[in-house]
Amino acid sequence: MADIYTDAEDERTIVEVLLHGLGTPRAPKLRVLRIALARSLQIPTPPANELDGSSLGGSEYALERITGAGQSADEEGRRDYDLAVRAMLSIYHGEDMFHGEESDRRYRRCLQRHIRRGLQEIRTTWRPGHDFHGFLYHELFAAATTKPVRFDLAQEIIAGLREIGVSAQIRGVENGPRISRYRVYLDDVNHYDKVKRGLDKLGLHLGLSTRQGILLQEDDGRGREARVLALDVPRPAESWHTIPGARLREWATENRDVPTLTVWPGVDVLGEPIHFDVAASPHLLVGGTTGSGKSVCLHALLLSLLWRLEPTDLQLTLIDPKRVELAQYAPFPQVTGGQVIEDVGDALEALQDLVDEMERRTLLLRQQEVANLAEGRAQGRIELPYVVVVVEELADLLFQSREAEAPLVRLTQKARAVGIHLILATQRPDSETFSGLLRSNVPGRIALSVRTGAESRIILDETGAEKLLGAGDMLLRPQAGAGTRRAHGVRVGSDDIRLCLQRFRGNRP
């Protein structure tokens, strides 16, 4: 009887997880298959039929290798888990998978679909080089727990403050998704500077690494005169709450009365949603080290738009030289060229076309005597969509084609009024990637965690991002002159993206 088949891409994923993820290249592949099964079972909708069958370059696994069917227990911990797996799938699919040949066939088929979907999920959310154990923790456990965890450090904070020579009282605590904010009342108003200088010491006292900083918020806006402070203390990862993609959907679909290009990247430290208007930015840089959550952040920005807007409102130009992240958006009916641009030569051409488009639009605006696209659309004089250009890895693009910088700079200088906005992501925040003219014309900044204060300064013009907690923790300054805010990103997964894009099925012009 047919067993479980994978395809060539699945096999590559399995090998990469064993090699780079678990660091056990020789371990049995079934380890990965079981993780994939667990991941898929977390998704509430059943996996697609397309995952059936076998394909060239794939592999075949006997059921006994996956569930231990028919095996007797041995010292190495191998056992027959088949009944347990069968029971899980029966419950998940609401069918009897125990009795008869047909139900057995069905069981194997469902098992294959789940395993292959789980492998796909791993592929889209984890990359070799990222921390796989952290990934597992977040994907399999953290996302599943939403119970608030009590975490109260008040006494230790008082003691830690005393150690740096500050006498104070705690007047309250609020628990956000990852941070607890303690309101501290200073007995002596002149101790503000001592607190500020002593934050690292205080962190050490609380058992935090110097990387995970305590941030000081001036509560009553009086700066060094302040008597009431707020200390944002990061909590251990076990107590974090993930912000699921479903929240983003609610925000985007329930808030109709906001500017067209409003996006919701995440929540503030106390859990309140944050939003801003990309058109006001008017161009954004998203920077952070590998695995910090840039792509997930880009997905949140894109889904904010795609949950609300129609293809008549929005055109997307998607440039992804790494060829990994953006392919999922190809079904959106208004993707420039009908597909994600992966080739650097094509990207250059697309950017030059956009410069031409910008000139055409500028002329049109002048003819219609409107100041910008928003005004033209509001008055019914112009029907053109906004254009959002996403570059998934700016460094890769510029490294392979320095000429791409010129049209990028032109667009950042002039495209604002005509409704063309750039979102540039990079894992290499250095002056070569994000230099001079580009830098001064891209005022919107999102910094995910980085290694050094210098990298933080490249992205934000200030330090701080080196203290972030990773996994979508960010500092946000959507516009020049706006204050920098801390946010925890929405965890958008490929199932959220698929669900959203179902809106556009059959909508292709």
Ligand X SMILES: Nc1ncnc2c1ncn2[C@@H]1O[C@H](COP(=O)(O)OP(=O)(O)OP(=O)(O)O)[C@@H](O)[C@H]1O
Least Cβ distance, residue 343 to Mg ion (angstroms): 19
Q: Which is nearer to ligand X, 229 or 450 (CB)?
A: 450
Q: Which is nearer to Mg ion, 6 or 295 (CB)?
A: 295
Q: Which is nearer to ligand X, 304 or 315 (CB)?
A: 304
Q: Which is nearer to ligand X, 226 or 286 (CB)?
A: 286
Query: Cβ distance 410 to 336 under 8 Å?
Result: no
Which of positions 390-429 make contact with ligand X (CB under 6 A)?
427
Considering only 67, 175, 295, 412, the residue that binds ligand X (CB under 6 A) is 295
Q: Which is nearer to Mg ion, 426 or 456 (CB)?
A: 426
The Cα 50–Cα 123 span in angstroms is 17
Least Cβ distance, residue 448 to ligand X (angstroms): 6
Q: Which is nearer to ligand X, 125 or 441 (CB)?
A: 125
Query: Cβ distance 162 to 120 under 8 Å?
Result: no
Instruction: Identify what 124 binds: Mg ion, ligand X, none; CB under 5 to 8 Å per kind.
Output: none
The Cα 102–Cα 121 span in angstroms is 28
Q: In what order do the strands lie in the sheet with 215-218?
A: 168-175, 179-186, 228-234, 215-218
Instruction: Identify what 127 binds: ligand X, Mg ion, none; CB under 5 to 8 Å per kind.
Output: ligand X
Instruction: Identify what 408 binds: ligand X, Mg ion, none; CB under 5 to 8 Å per kind.
Output: none
Instruction: Identify what 386 binds: ligand X, Mg ion, none; CB under 5 to 8 Å per kind.
Output: none
Pick the piece of the chain touching ligand X (CB under 6 A) from 213-221, 284-292, 401-409, 496-504: 284-292
441 binds ligand X (CB under 6 A): no
DSSP structure class, residue 238? G
The mark string for 252-271 relative to ligand X (x by CB under 6 A, - otherwise) is --------------------
Considering only 107, 135, 329, 386, the residue that binds ligand X (CB under 6 A) is 135
434 binds ligand X (CB under 6 A): no
Instruction: Identify what 296 binds: Mg ion, ligand X, none; CB under 5 to 8 Å per kind.
Output: ligand X
Look-up: residue for tokens 């929405």? 490
The Cα 36–Cα 118 span in angstroms is 4
287 binds ligand X (CB under 6 A): no
Least Cβ distance, residue 452 to Mg ion (angstroms): 20
The Cα 161–Cα 175 span in angstroms is 20
Q: Which is nearer to ligand X, 115 or 471 (CB)?
A: 471
Q: What is the 3-state secondary structure (H, E, C) of 263-308?
A: EEEEECCCCCEEEEEHHHCCCEEEECCCCCCHHHHHHHHHHHHHHH
Considering only 6, 67, 120, 292, the residue that binds ligand X (CB under 6 A) is 292
The Cα 501–Cα 227 span in angstroms is 50
Percentages helix, strand, coil for the chain, rounded to the nearest 5?
Answer: 45, 15, 40
- Apex 265 CA angle, 260 and 267, nearest 5: 120
Query: Cβ distance 386 to 419 under 8 Å?
Result: yes
Query: Cβ distance 459 to 428 under 8 Å?
Result: no
Instruction: Identify what 24 binds: ligand X, Mg ion, none; CB under 5 to 8 Å per kind.
Output: none
Query: Cβ distance 298 to 390 under 8 Å?
Result: yes
Q: Which is nearer to ligand X, 205 or 294 (CB)?
A: 294
Interface positions with ligand X (CB under 6 A): 125-127, 130, 135, 138, 242, 288, 290-296, 427, 471-472, 489-491
